[in-house]
């Protein structure tokens, strides 16, 4: 008696099952290869990042973080001279934009920056009260001082007339400017030194009232030699 052959199903179904199984195996294999490749690349980036750490950054401004990820180019770190130039340039733009160039001057020398205010405009009625018109520019100067993080002198200067009170007035005005920078602009006290110069460092030696008015001023002095 002949045996009956069992029907295991259509050939198409068998092929589908076989093809699907093979596809899953291949997919798993490629996933495994990819994961191994990522791990290797990660290790390479970490190692490479450690290697270049002492030599700067990659061409085009690229760099690696501690995890081995590539960092996009960003703003380069400024050295001290770069911070100085950037801060002073920003202050100059602010003064120009707000039409303050007649009342506030920035005088650059080899070793100092001197930010000069005419006393008649910085103080109300010739006293020691700061004119509110200049609050904002003093705030900007406060930001500059905090960025530089260096000792800054605030010098009060007077004219030749009324010499008996010149020293006191010049010192009180310097202290008033210092107090504003500390209390309103948030500058640490340790960064500011107030000095009364009286009439001993005149800007002009003319004897008439107009010339002597020029000598009544406040100077905020950044000593670059000390700062650097």
More confident residue, 135 or 81: 135
138 by Cβ neighbours in 10 Å (0-12 / 13-18 / 19+) ranks as: buried
CATH of 80-227, one of 3.30.1330.60, 3.20.20.70, 3.40.640.10, 3.40.50.1220: 3.30.1330.60
Predicted confidence band of residue 66 (pLDDT cuts 50, 70, 90): very low
CB 129 within 8 A of CB 176: yes
Could you state, in order of their start, the residue ranges of all structural domains in the chain?
A: 11-71, 80-227
Predicted confidence band of residue 126 (pLDDT cuts 50, 70, 90): confident
Predicted confidence band of residue 129 (pLDDT cuts 50, 70, 90): very high
For every residue of 41-78, DSSP letters joined together read HHHHHHHHHHHHTTT---GGG-EE-TTSPEEPP-PPPP
Predicted confidence band of residue 123 (pLDDT cuts 50, 70, 90): very high
pLDDT over threshold 50, residue 118: yes
pLDDT over threshold 60, residue 25: yes
pLDDT digits (tens, 9 = 90+) for 162-212: 677 888 999 999 999 999 999 999 999 999 999 999 888 888 887 787 778
Predicted confidence band of residue 161 (pLDDT cuts 50, 70, 90): confident
Of 69-73, 111-115, 186-190, 196-200, which has the strongest mean pLDDT? 186-190
CB 48 within 8 A of CB 66: no
For every residue of the chain, DSSP letters joined together read -PPPPP----HHHHHHHHHHHHHHHHHHHHHHHHHHHHHHHHHHHHHHHHHHTTT---GGG-EE-TTSPEEPP-PPPP-HHHHHHHHHHHHHHHHHHTT-TTTEEEEE-SSEEEEEEEHHHHBGGGSSSBPGGGHHHHHHHHHHHHHHTS-EEEEEE--STTHHHHHHHHHHHHHHHHHHHHHTT---GGGEEEEE-TTSS-S----SHHHHHHH-EEEEEEEHHHH-
Q: Sheet holding 217-223: strands in order across?
A: 104-108, 112-118, 217-223, 152-157, 192-196
CB 157 within 8 A of CB 217: yes
If you average pLDDT over every residue of the chain, what do you get?
77
């Amino acid at each position: 008696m002949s045996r009956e052959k069992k029907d295991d199903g259509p050939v198409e179904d068998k092929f589908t099952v076989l093809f699907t199984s093979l596809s899953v195996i291949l997919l798993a294999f490629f996933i495994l290869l990819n994961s191994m490749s990522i791990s290797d690349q990660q290790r390479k980036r970490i190692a490479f990042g450690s290697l270049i750490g002492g030599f700067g950054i990659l061409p085009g401004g690229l760099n690696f973080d501690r995890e081995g990820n590539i960092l996009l180019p960003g703003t380069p770190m400024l050295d001290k001279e770069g911070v100085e130039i950037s801060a002073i340039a920003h202050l100059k733009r602010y003064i120009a934009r707000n039409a303050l160039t007649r009342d506030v001057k920035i005088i650059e020398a080899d070793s100092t920056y001197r930010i000069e205010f005419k006393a008649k405009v910085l103080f109300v009625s010739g006293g020691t009260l700061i004119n509110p018109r200049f609050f904002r520019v003093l705030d900007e100067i406060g930001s500059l001082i905090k960025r530089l993080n260096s000792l800054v002198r605030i010098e009060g200067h007077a004219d030749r007339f009324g010499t008996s009170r010149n020293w006191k007035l010049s010192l009180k005005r310097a202290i008033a400017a210092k107090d504003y920078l500390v209390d309103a602009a948030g500058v640490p006290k340790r960064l500011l030194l107030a000095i009364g110069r009286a009439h001993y460092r005149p800007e002009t030696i003319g004897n008439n009232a107009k010339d002597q008015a020029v000598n009544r001023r406040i100077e905020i002095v950044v000593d670059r030699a000390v700062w650097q």
